[in-house]
């Protein structure tokens, strides 16, 4: 996942562990650390959201086949 116009890139595993974090030199401004940290947090949070969405989609494929008539929302 990239954030800040590609200034920060995060790779995350399905176990929500950060595999890599790339921060472009242009974003490093000692007088504005807050913006850099905000962009890093946005990238990490988006990566986590994508992992959770992918896991939910996979679970829906499995549990969708298990729904029984007359039992909505059981699975």
- Residue of higher predicted confidence among 66 and 28: 28
Would you state the pLDDT for residue 34?
Answer: 94
Closest CA to 29 of 57, 7, 5: 7
Would you state the pLDDT for residue 74?
Answer: 53
Would you state the pLDDT for residue 23?
Answer: 93
pTM, entire model: 0.72
- Whether the per-residue pLDDT at 66 is higher than 80: the answer is no
Token digits of residue 6: 């590609």
């Amino acid at each position: 996942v990239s954030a800040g116009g590609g200034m920060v890139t995060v790779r995350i595993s399905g176990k929500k562990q950060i595999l890599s974090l790339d921060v472009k030199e242009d974003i490093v401004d000692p007088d504005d650390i807050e913006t850099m940290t905000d962009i890093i947090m946005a990238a990490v949070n988006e990566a986590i959201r994508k992992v959770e969405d992918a896991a939910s989609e996979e679970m829906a494929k499995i549990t969708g086949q298990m729904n029984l008539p007359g039992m909505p929302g059981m699975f």
